[in-house]
Amino acid sequence: MNKEKIRFRFIGTRVSVLAGLMLLPLAACADVTGTVFPPDLASLLDAGPEAATLTSEEQLLYDLIMEYRREHDLPEIPLSRSLTFVAQVHARDTAYNEFPPHCNGHSWSDNGPWQGGCYTADHANAPLMWEKPQELTPYPGSGFEISCSSYSIDATANRCLAAWQTSPGHDQVIRNAGPWSQMDWNAIGIGMYGTEAHVWFGSETDPLSVPAQ
């Protein structure tokens, strides 16, 4: 029987994101690092967040999350190009790279034009997550992520949402419940690749608007 491993972090408070962060073009960053990316990741990085679009499975996951929120009388969250780009890049990063057992699904490798690091259960490296949208895109605020990963089968929209609904921590993020009840989500991004699925939430409106449908 295949088992799904669900990875999540609780962060009760937010930290200030560094002001004046200079964003270099992703292609330039790739040239500086000299990293050779898998073709699909390379094309994603080259296109940038302005070109972010959803696959059919990612669209389904977005639709299912919005349907679930409507069932709880919650408003729809606008799709964000920036957060979708971050989610899609992270889905490929976690699919292509191995991480030590103590590093959970919010970790990033050192194999890209981003700050890599290990995200541990004590949330000691929480800014690694929070600051990623501002690091990679024009998004003006912090990002918060829920993740779903299967060991040997592709992640699907139905499978991941069902798993999140049975996990109080994930479910509270989706429904703005518990520690998230005072936050309004005004942006959401969806990224799925192979066994990996990541959904990013943000309070600020994305200046890049929404992915093409």
pLDDT of residue 113: 94
Whole-prediction pTM: 0.83
Q: Is 187 exposed, middle or buried (0-12, 13-18, 19+ CB in 10 A)?
A: buried
Structural Rg of the chain based on CA atoms? 16
The answer to whether 175 touches 72, Cβ cutoff 8 Å, is yes
The predicted structure's pLDDT at residue 59: 98
d(CA 43, CA 51): 11
Residues of the chain with pLDDT under 70: 1-35, 211-213
pLDDT in the model for residue 6: 37
Confidence at residue 150, expressed as pLDDT on a 0 to 100 scale: 81
The DSSP 8-state label assigned to residue 122 in this structure reads T
Q: Token pair for residue 127?
A: 């800014």
Of the candidates 87, 81, 88, 86, the residue with the CA atom closest to the CA atom of residue 211: 81
Instruction: Identify the pLDDT of residue 36.
Output: 79
> Cα–Cα distances in Å, from 18 out to 54, 115, 142?
30, 14, 10
Distance from C-alpha of 178 to C-alpha of 173, rounded to nearest angstrom: 8
Q: Both tokens of residue 36?
A: 């050779």
- Percent of the chain past pLDDT 90, that is, above it, reads 78
| Identity of the amino acid at 110 | D
pLDDT value for 211: 61
Residue labelled with tokens 């940038």: 48
